[in-house]
Structure 1
Amino acid sequence: MAAMLRERAAAPATEPLSTDEMIGLLVDREWTARENKRLHRLLKDARVPSDACMEDFSCEAGRGVDRSFARVLGSCQWVRAKQNVIVLGATGAGKSFLGGALAQAACRQGFRALVIRTPRLLQQLAVARADGTYANALARLAKVAVLVLDDFLLAPMTDVERRDLLEVLEDRYDRSSTVITSQIPTKSWHQAIGEASIADAICDRVVHNAHLVTLRGDSMRKKKAVAPEVTETKT
């Protein structure tokens, strides 16, 4: 607010503002500054990739997501309804980008989010279990409104990892939203998770309350790849 007053004092002389207009201008500037600061903090805590946003998500024909559905996802109504999103697709299809973009959209609407690769999360929980901070780690995850689990089922899970994942999802069921990205179709999750009873419990807390997105098309990474330079060979 003080900066605003200094700017006004240093600005070229113009038609003076009334007291009410000046107060309104100061309040608007202060509110905008605080909101920008809050958004910056939310995005930093969420670890959202810097280039991930719904506006840049490709909805070209054949991708599996049209613009109307992308707008629905970007509205974050699913977050308010405590629903989940499952993003499936081959390597390079844009799953991680969409997961990050959904987290970014949530932050822009004031929700706390966190983007993390599933193997990294399970590793962190193992460390927390060893150093006695396991309960605190679970509590922190439970407070996140949108948890993006990237690379779900990328590698086989141990029994401890399965149980850790179930604890995370149990705390979130009907209380917050989880976004899962995976190369594995949901019909194969039971087999990929292993141990039927835990697989049932995990899927029951995620799949039946989720919007399913299946991305198709060529690898987005290949499209962004730098074309090799062609050098002429002199003869």
Structure 2
Amino acid sequence: MNTPIRSTDLFRDLSAARLPTLARAWEVWTADPRHAKQGPEACLRFLLDAHLQARDHTKLEAFFRQAGLPSHFALATFEHGLRVGVDDLCMAHLRAMSWARAGQTVVITGPTLSGKTHLAAALGREAIAHGIRSTMVQAPAMLERLLDPDVSTVERKRHFKQLSRAELLIIDDFATEPAGDEETVQFRRLLDERTRRGLPLVVTSIHGPDEWDKAFAEVATREGIYARVLGGACHQVALRRRQRSNGSAHVTRVTNPARKPRKVKEAA
């Protein structure tokens, strides 16, 4: 005859196995007398839901920490409507994530205080909730790290690989600062790799696509960039400026103190 497992024993064993989320969930389950008459399937579902919620929370924390953004950005807190450039139909399409599963691109443009970063980060949060691993970076910082001579070649290659294989890559401030020939080529290489893998992309830019030429020096390479961002199935969202009182449009980014200031070439 099997000996029943005491709740305290299972809690201890789960903790010892470094499964604190399951241990806490088991403690909550056993403390509720309403669960006494429920079967093992209900208990297992309760424990599994707790585990999945904790896992998603960890992923969200990592996503926003890497992006240097506050973690409250979500589609639920993004005020949409015709006056800001995102109607209900567009929002429903973005929320459904079918575009991400199909490897398509979302281009979000608009002036300062229009909510571009908020919407992009919210899409990253939604993607994680759909089981899509997401990474968000600022274009200038991304290029700086990929080309920094003070960073080892191994580390730069590792970072490139992470960006090229992220299930969803979100690039903030795209085509905002001028990029030299080497930076333009690096951008093209990254987008080539992601296109080859059929992976989705979100970019935000203060400039519309018709103004991107100012940001990339090498003509042939930048045309390749445009083809990979705007070609195929591309969903363009043009936001309009909001009032400063709307908190959803104001972004306080947590900067990385280790990041070196961007070098600006003096005019000859």
Distance 1:102 1:62, change over 3 A: same
Q: Structure 2 matches for 1:177-216, cutoff 5 A? A: 177-209=200-232, 210-216=234-240
Unmatched tracts of structure 1, length 5 or more: 226-235
Unmatched tracts of structure 2, length 5 or more: 1-21, 250-268
1:222 positional shift: 4.3
Q: Which residue in the other structure is 2:8 paired with?
A: none
Q: 2:179 aligns with which of 157, 161, 166?
A: 157
1:3 positional shift: 4.5
Q: Which residue in the other structure is 2:164 paired with?
A: 142
1:84-136 deviation per Cα after TM superposition (whole angstroms, max 9, x unaligned): 10000001100000100110110010111111111111111123784112222
Distance 1:90 1:25, change over 3 A: same
Distance 1:91 1:30, change over 3 A: same
Deviates more, 1:75-84 or 1:33-42: 33-42
Aligned-residue CA RMSD (Å): 2.2
Q: Which residue in the other structure is 2:135 paired with?
A: 114
Distance 1:29 1:160, change over 3 A: same
1:45 positional shift: 2.9
Q: Which residue in the other structure is 1:38 paired with?
A: 55
Distance 1:78 1:10, change over 3 A: closer
Tell me the SS of whatever aligns to 1:135: helix
Q: Which residue in the other structure is 2:73 paired with?
A: 52
C-alpha distance in structure 1 between counterparts of 2:26 and 2:55, whole Å: 22
Q: Which residue in the other structure is 1:232 paired with?
A: none
Tell me the SS of whatever aligns to 2:188: helix
Q: Structure 2 matches for 1:7-156, cutoff 5 A? A: 7=28, 9-12=30-33, 16-17=36-37, 21-47=38-64, 49-127=70-148, 130-133=151-154, 134-156=156-178
* Aligned residues with identical type, % of pairs: 26
C-alpha distance in structure 2 between counterparts of 1:16 and 1:178, whole Å: 48
Name the count of aligned residue pairs.
220
Would you say the 8 A contact 1:95–1:215 is kept in 2? yes
- Please give the TM-score of this superposition, normalised by the length of structure 2: 0.75
Give the partner amino acid of 1:33.
A
Q: Which residue in the other structure is 2:241 paired with?
A: 217
C-alpha distance in structure 1 between counterparts of 2:26 and 2:177, whole Å: 57
- Please give the TM-score of this superposition, normalised by the length of structure 1: 0.85
C-alpha distance in structure 1 between counterparts of 2:210 and 2:29, whole Å: 62
Give the partner amino acid of 1:198.
T
1:191 positional shift: 3.7
> Is the aligned partner of 1:172 residue 2:191?
no
